Amino acid sequence: MNKRTFLKSVSLLSAGLLAGNSVQAVANSSNHNVLSLKKPTSLPRKGTIGVVSPSAATANQKDIILAKQVIEALGYKAKLAPNIMARRGHLAGTDTQRADDLNALFNDSSVDAIFCLRGGSGAARILPLLDYAMIRANAKPLMGYSDITALHNALLAKAGIVSFHGPNASSSWNRFHVKQFQQMFEQQTRMHFSNLPKGEDELVNSQYLTQTITPGKATGQLIGGNLTVLTALAGSTYLPEFDGAILFLEDIDEAPYRIDRMLSTLKLMGALDKIAGFVFGDCNDCTPGRGYGSLTLDEIFADYIKPLGIPAYRGAMIGHIKRQFILPVGTQVEINADAGTLTMKEAAFS
Model pLDDT for residues 81-136, shown as the tens digit of each residue:
999 999 999 999 999 999 999 999 999 999 999 999 999 999 999 999 999 999 99
pLDDT at 160: 98
pLDDT tens-digit map of 236-263? 999 999 999 999 999 998 999 999 999 9
Instruction: Evaluate whether 220 touches 275 at the Cβ level (below 8 Å).
Output: yes
Beta-carbon contacts of 164 under 8 Å, excluding residues fewer than 6 positions away, are 141, 142, 143, 184, 326, 327, 328, 329, 348
pLDDT at 292: 73
Strands of the sheet containing 277-284, edge to edge, are 192-194, 341-344, 332-336, 217-226, 246-252, 277-284, 312-314, 211-214
Instruction: Evaluate whether 214 touches 311 at the Cβ level (below 8 Å).
Output: yes
Rounded to two decimals, the pTM is 0.89
Catalytic residue among 53, 121, 165, 250: 250
250 assigned to active site: yes
pLDDT band at 59 (very low <50, low <70, confident <90, very high): confident
All domains of the chain in start order, with CATH: 3-186 (3.40.50.10740), 192-344 (3.50.30.60)
3-state helix, strand, coil in the chain (%, to 5): 30, 20, 50
Q: Indicate if the pLDDT at residue 17 is higher than 70.
A: no
Catalytic residue among 42, 170, 320, 334: 320
pLDDT at 9: 47
pLDDT at 33: 59
Instruction: Evaluate whether 142 touches 164 at the Cβ level (below 8 Å).
Output: yes
H runs (alpha helix) in 148-221:
149-154, 175-181
Q: What is the mean pLDDT of residues 294-313?
A: 97
pLDDT at 7: 47
Percent of the chain surpassing pLDDT 90: 84
299 assigned to active site: no
pLDDT tens-digit map of 197-212? 988 899 999 989 999 9
d(C-alpha 5, C-alpha 8), whole Å: 5
d(C-alpha 333, C-alpha 217), whole Å: 10
Catalytic residue among 55, 121, 146, 170: 146
